[in-house]
Copies of this chain bind each other. A is one copy, B any other.
Amino acid sequence: MRHLLNILDLTTEEINELITTALDIEENPEKYSESCKGKILATLFFEPSTRTRLSFETAMLSLGGSVAGVSSASSSSASKGESVSDTVEVVSGYVNIIAMRHPKEGAPYVAKRHSLVPIVNAGDGGHYHPTQTLADLMTIYKKKGTFENLTIGLCGDLKYGRTVHSLIEAMSRYKGVKFCLISPEELSLPDFVKKEYIKDKGIVYEEVSSLEEAISSLDVLYMTRIQKERFLDEAEYERLKDSYVLNEDKMKSAKSDMIVLHPLPRVNEISVKVDEDDRACYFLQTRCGKLMRMALILKLLKEKNEPERADTRKMFVDPDKICKNPHCIVTSEQEIERSVYKDKNCITHCAYCDSVI
């Protein structure tokens, strides 16, 4: 059985296949309108998210399947203290596939071990959100026709933005890609991402602190939200915030075929006036998200009886290596085996949230 917890669970060939299927669904929706007849998707959203949940649900409905789910922790037994493993053990006996969002990092790894059906990670805290990356990739492909030789600007909160990390990981596998990291120093890309997915792979990149400096060179501009709360110093926030807002004026300096992406929801980091610009692709991106989720559901249900790809990480339990990330699922799940693994630099990571121990 295959699951999708991290975008790197998919090879580049598999991503290409998913895009091919998604494009075919877009062209011929009626061909797929009964593909999942009799199948049920459970959406276990222990944290609210209108868009992502509706995208999954309407994806399944448009395939002729049906949906049951929870839309927040308060309307679920999680409020009675039930563990992720028990919930998944039970729910996976009722349905054919599960899409799960959980506030704790690594929760889908617990789910996977206890599930009778494929698990799709629909966001686990600040950790991963692979179906967002599938949406991003399809949008880039539709507008650019390729993933190679693109200069990708990533703007805003690169430190906490899980969608940024996943997009970098995914794009780092294509030839000729360059990254331009646009953020205040407080919110710059974490070293482990920069090292593993950019430096170690010899990818060209630059780091700048304002959007104006960078915009003219970009093929893709990936915007994210900067939250005031991330700054220690409010004055610093006030001084910087306008540099990371995309408006009509800044768009004038951009290439005529640059595309603007955003994982949404936005607050004010892209002016509403930019929406009318043909280069604004963030609403297209949400529609690609539904199509890619349809393609993914089809793939996972089809490959349900195939063996899971072997985990290349060697897991072990070391009583001296206890994950200290307060957002990790190990802090709340009962009697959990506290597995860890070593990366190629021999640094120990938590097997659930991947944080360094």
- A77 and B49 CA atoms in complex are apart in Å by 5
- A75 and B57 CA atoms in complex are apart in Å by 15
Within 8 Å of chain B (Cβ to Cβ): is A166? Answer: no
Question: Residue A87 contacts which of B42, B50, B71, B271 (CB distance < 8 angstroms)?
Answer: B50
Within 8 Å of chain B (Cβ to Cβ): is A80? Answer: yes
- Pick out which of these stretches binds chain B: A171-179, A282-290, A307-315, A323-331: A282-290
Question: Residue A335 contacts which of B57, B75, B80, B273 (CB distance < 8 angstroms)?
Answer: B273
Copies of the chain in the assembly: 3
- A212 and B74 CA atoms in complex are apart in Å by 37
B283–A54 contact, CB under 8 A?
no
Q: Which residues of B contact A283 (CB under 8 A)?
A: 89-90, 93
A81–B51 contact, CB under 8 A?
no
Chain A 62-107 residues near chain B, CB threshold 8 A: 62, 64, 66-72, 74-82, 85-87, 89-91, 93-95
Question: Residue A66 contacts which of B61, B81, B290 (CB distance < 8 angstroms)?
Answer: B61
- Interface mask (A233-261 → B, CB under 8 Å = 1, otherwise 0): 00000000000000000000000000000
Tell me the count of chain A residues lying within 8 A, CB to CB, of chain B.
56
Question: Residue A71 contacts which of B70, B80, B81 (CB distance < 8 angstroms)?
Answer: B70
Within 8 Å of chain B (Cβ to Cβ): is A267? Answer: yes
Q: CB within 8 Å of B: which residues of A?
A: 30, 33, 38, 40, 42, 45, 48-51, 54-55, 57-58, 61-62, 64, 66-72, 74-82, 85-87, 89-91, 93-95, 264-268, 271-273, 283, 286-287, 290, 334-335
